[in-house]
Structure 1
Amino acid sequence: MQKVDKIVAVDLFCGAGGLTYGLETAGISVTLGVDIDPHCAHAIEANSRAKFLQADVAALDAAVVKEALTGGDFTLLAGCAPCQPFSTYSRAAKQRHGEGAGDGRSEDWRLAEHFGNIIRKVQPDIVTMENVPPLSQQEVFKTFLEALEGYWVDWKVIECNLIGLPQTRKRLVLVASKLGPIEIPNFDLPRQTVRSIIGGLPEINAGGIDPHDRLHKASRLSSINMERIRSSVAGGTWRDWPERLLSSCHTKETGATYPSVYGRMEWDSPAPTITTQCFGYGNGRFGHPEQDRAISLREAAMLQGFPRDYSFLPEGEAVSFAKVGRLIGNAVPVTLGAVIGRFIKEHVAEYRSASHADGMKA
C-alpha cells in the first residue's frame, strides 16, 4: 500500500480561517495560523486543528514558521496578504463617495513583500497565495515573484462560480513548487446557487434572529428601506422603485453606475462578491431573494463556503455585525481553499509517483 504523504502548512494572514479550514478539508495539516487581528483566534482554534499566533507578519520571526512546518513529508506556506487598495470593491466605494482611488501605497501595499521575505527565509516546498486580481498589475506582485526564485510558478485568475462557490467573485491564485513544474487547471466544477446554499435556513425578519443560531441574524431596516426592499424584485435594481423612494445618490450621474446597490439576490444564480459590509441592504446586492431583509451573517458565511455550524465568536460574546461581517468578508472562501488544497495534494502525489518511477528505472 502506497504511503500517503503528510503536507504540513502554515497560514499567514489567516483571518477567520477560511483557507485553513479549506486546506484541512483537503487533507493538509495546518499547524499554525498567523494574523495581527486578535479576533481571529477563536475562529481558528475552535474550527481547525491549527494554533493561532497573533503577530504582525512584517515582524514575524521566520524561525517560528520553520518550527511550525516540522513533522511532515512536505511543507506548504499559504496566505492571502491583504491588498485592499487594489480591490475593485474598495476603489468603487471610494469613487461612489467622491474620493480619489489613491495609489495604494499604504502599509497594506507592502504585506505581499513581507510574505515574500518569509518565503526567502523559510524556503518551503510549496507556496500558495490568493489575492485580488488587480494585484497582478502592480509592481509589488513582480517583487513577490522575485522571492520565488528557484520555484516553478503558475498563477491565474479564477472565477469562483466555476469551483463550486456560489459567488461571482474572481480571485488571483498563485502556486509555486520546488518539486517540479506546476500548472493550475481550468476548473469547471458543478455550479452552486444562492438557493442551493441558503435556501433551507429558517425565515427571519429584518432585525430578527434565529433562536437556534445567533449568527442567523439580520440587521434592522429603517421604514424607508423596508418600503424599498418591498418594492425590489430579485435580480432587479432601484430603478424598479416608485420615484418617491429614490435617494439623492440615485439621481446623481454616478448613481447610474451602481444599479445593484439596494438590490436583491436571485435564488437560482450566484451571489455577488461577499464583502465586509454584506449585512447591510444598502451596501450592494445583499437583499434576501424573497424575505424583506438583508442576508444574515450566517447566510453570508455559508455563501463564503463556511459550514453552517462554523463558530466565529466565543460562546456568550455579543454578536457584532461589524466584527463578524469583517471576519466573513475578508476570509478566503473555504471552497477555494479546499480546491487549492486538493490540487496541491495531487501535485505532491504526482511528484512522489514520478520519483518512485525514476527510482525503479535506476
Structure 2
Amino acid sequence: MRFTAVDLFCGAGGTSVALKKNYDIKCAIEYDPIIAETYQNNHDSSHLIIEDIKKIYKKEFLEKVFLQRGELDLLIATPPCQGFSKHSKKKNFILNDTRNKLIFHVSRVVTYFHPKFILFENVGNIINNNYFYILLKKLSNIDQEGYPIIKTQPSYHINFQIVNATDYDVPQKRQRLILIAKKIDSTDLPNTNAFITLSKKGIPQVSAPLNIWPDKKPAKKLGEFLKPHNLRKLEAGETDPEDELHTVRNLSELNIRRLEATPKNGGSRNSWPESIWLDCHKKKNVSYGDVYGRMSFEDYAPTITCGCLSLSKGRFGHPTENRAISLREAALIQTFPKKYKFSGSIEKKALQIGNAVPVNLAKLFINAITANLIETKLQPVVSPPSDPVGVC
C-alpha cells in the first residue's frame, strides 16, 4: 500500500530515506545547490525543487505535486532550527532571526494541499518562541467551541512533545520537538480537543492531544551500534581508502597529547596534567566541560552538530582512538545508511550531517502515521440507510 508525501526543507534527505518504504515523494524542497546535490546522489531527483521556499508559489507546487486538495497523505516539514536554539544569549520570544519565519511557509503549503497528516521537527526550545504558538493556532484552526475559525481552511488535531532520540532507535542524546497533526474530518466537528491554549507558564498546549504516537524503541549503546559496521581504525588526518567519508581532521601534536591523556570511553579534559591545559581553561568557573572529551562505547553519543569533527566543539573525541570522530561515524550516529553519499567540502558535509533529522527517528514517527493511514483506508465504507419502501 503506497501513500504520497511532500518533504519541505529536505536537506541531505534523511526524512526521504525514511519515507521510501511506503511513500511516493511528490516534491522535496532544498535551496542550497550543494546540499541538493547530496539529495540527488541518493534519491530520485525528478521531484526535487532547488529554490528558496519563499520564492516557490502555489502554481509551481501544484504543477509539481499534481494532487487534488485532500489527496496528499503526508507533509513533512523540518525548517531550520538555529534561530530557535537556546544557545542564543537573548530571550527567544524577542529573537528576530529571519529564519524563524520560515515555519509559516509550512502553514502556507498546508492551505494548498490540505494534507491528511503533517510531521514537523525542530529543536525543543521552539516551544518558548511565540512563532511556534502562532503556527499551532494556524494549523489547528479550531475555536473554543470546536469549530473551524477559517471555514475554507483545514483544521488539525495536534500532538507535540520534546523527545530524546535515544528513545527512538538513535544512539545519540538529541532532544527534539516532534509534532504530528491529523486533519479533522467534517464529520468529527465540533472538536474541542483540538483547541490550542497557553499554559500558566506561557507554553502552548493542546486541550487533549491527538492520540497517535510511536512506541519507544530504545537505541543500542554506541559501541554495540557501530560494531557491525566494522569501520577501519584511523589516525588523526587519515582517510579510509575504501570510504572517503570515513575521514578525520588532522590534529596538532599538542592535541594528540591531550587525547592521549584523556581516559578512553568517556574521559574528559579534567584528567589532563596542568602542563597541557588550554589558557582559557585555567580561568575559574569555565563551562563547556565536554569540549575535548571522548565519547563512550558504553553510552550514547552526544548531539551530533555541525562542529562534530572538532574536539573544541564538544565531546567529539573517538572513544578509544586518538582522534576526533569521522564524517562516516557522525553520519552513522545520525542513522544514515552506511553507503550514503555527501557532496561538498568537509565542512559542508559536516553541516549537512549535523542538521539532518536522524533517519531512524523519522522512520518511527512516519510508521505511526502510516499505520493510521492504512487503518483508515481499510475501514469499510458505510452507505447511508435508504428510505423505507413505500414512504414518501
Shorter chain as denominator, the TM-score bin is 0.7 to 0.9
Deviations 1:39-62 (A, max 9, x none): 122222222235321111122212
1:161 is aligned to 166
Q: Does 1:33 align with 2:28?
A: yes
1:260 is aligned to 290
Which range is displaced more, 157-166 or 228-237? 228-237
Residue 17 of structure 1: CA displacement?
0.5
Asked if 1 retains the 8 angstrom alpha-carbon contact of 2:249 and 2:324, the reply is yes
Following superposition of structure 1 onto structure 2, how do residues 3-152 of structure 1 map, counting pairs within 5 Å? 4=1, 6-25=2-21, 27-50=22-45, 51-70=47-66, 74-88=72-86, 90-91=87-88, 103-148=94-139, 149=141, 150-152=155-157
Q: TM-score, normalised by structure 2?
A: 0.81
Asked if 2 retains the 8 angstrom alpha-carbon contact of 1:195 and 1:268, the reply is yes
Q: Secondary structure at the match of 1:39?
A: helix
Asked if 2 retains the 8 angstrom alpha-carbon contact of 1:20 and 1:337, the reply is no
Asked if 2 retains the 8 angstrom alpha-carbon contact of 1:18 and 1:334, the reply is yes
1:223 is aligned to 253
Q: Does 1:277 align with 2:307?
A: yes
Aligned-partner Cα distance in 2 for 1:68–1:151: 24
Residue 28 of structure 1: CA displacement?
1.8
Aligned-partner Cα distance in 2 for 1:269–1:54: 39
> Among residues 193, 216, 219, which one is paired with 1:188 in the alignment?
216
Decide whether aligned partners of structure 1 residues 359 and 189 sit closer, same or farther in structure 2, where only a CA change above 3 A counts.
farther
Listed as ranges, the gaps of 5+ residues in structure 2 are 142-154, 186-208, 387-392
2:341 is aligned to 311
Aligned-partner Cα distance in 2 for 1:143–1:85: 16
Listed as ranges, the gaps of 5+ residues in structure 1 are 314-318
Residue 147 of structure 1: CA displacement?
2.3
Residue 71 of structure 1: CA displacement?
6.0
Residue 294 of structure 1: CA displacement?
0.4
Letter matched to residue 125 of structure 1: K
Following superposition of structure 1 onto structure 2, how do residues 271-350 of structure 1 map, counting pairs within 5 Å? 271-313=301-343, 320-350=345-375
Aligned-partner Cα distance in 2 for 1:15–1:361: 50
Asked if 1 retains the 8 angstrom alpha-carbon contact of 2:77 and 2:121, the reply is yes
Aligned-partner Cα distance in 2 for 1:344–1:43: 27
Deviations 1:88-139 (A, max 9, x none): 4x43xxx6xxxx6774311111111222222223322211110001101211
- Name the count of aligned residue pairs: 342
Letter matched to residue 183 of structure 1: N
Aligned-partner Cα distance in 1 for 2:285–2:23: 46
Asked if 2 retains the 8 angstrom alpha-carbon contact of 1:10 and 1:68, the reply is no
Q: Does 1:197 align with 2:194?
A: no
Letter matched to residue 159 of structure 1: N
Asked if 2 retains the 8 angstrom alpha-carbon contact of 1:24 and 1:338, the reply is no
1:316 is aligned to none
Aligned-partner Cα distance in 2 for 1:145–1:18: 24
Aligned-partner Cα distance in 2 for 1:70–1:76: 14
> Among residues 238, 249, 270, which one is paired with 1:239 in the alignment?
270
Asked if 2 retains the 8 angstrom alpha-carbon contact of 1:280 and 1:294, the reply is yes
Asked if 1 retains the 8 angstrom alpha-carbon contact of 2:168 and 2:360, the reply is yes
Residue 186 of structure 1: CA displacement?
5.8
Which range is displaced more, 267-276 or 142-151? 142-151
Aligned-partner Cα distance in 2 for 1:322–1:43: 14
Residue 254 of structure 1: CA displacement?
4.7
Residue 361 of structure 1: CA displacement?
9.2
Aligned-partner Cα distance in 2 for 1:110–1:254: 37
Q: Secondary structure at the match of 2:159?
A: strand
Q: TM-score, normalised by structure 1?
A: 0.88
> Among residues 149, 171, 177, which one is paired with 1:172 in the alignment?
177
Aligned-partner Cα distance in 2 for 1:345–1:182: 15
Decide whether aligned partners of structure 1 residues 304 and 360 sit closer, same or farther in structure 2, where only a CA change above 3 A counts.
farther
Residue 169 of structure 1: CA displacement?
0.2
Residue 179 of structure 1: CA displacement?
5.5
Aligned-partner Cα distance in 1 for 2:62–2:138: 17
Letter matched to residue 216 of structure 2: D
2:199 is aligned to none
2:197 is aligned to none
Decide whether aligned partners of structure 1 residues 119 and 241 sit closer, same or farther in structure 2, where only a CA change above 3 A counts.
same
Asked if 1 retains the 8 angstrom alpha-carbon contact of 2:214 and 2:365, the reply is no
Decide whether aligned partners of structure 1 residues 247 and 64 sit closer, same or farther in structure 2, where only a CA change above 3 A counts.
same
Q: Secondary structure at the match of 1:268?
A: coil
**How many percent identity over aligned positions?**
32
Decide whether aligned partners of structure 1 residues 60 and 242 sit closer, same or farther in structure 2, where only a CA change above 3 A counts.
same
Q: Secondary structure at the match of 2:33?
A: coil
Higher Cα radius of gyration: 2
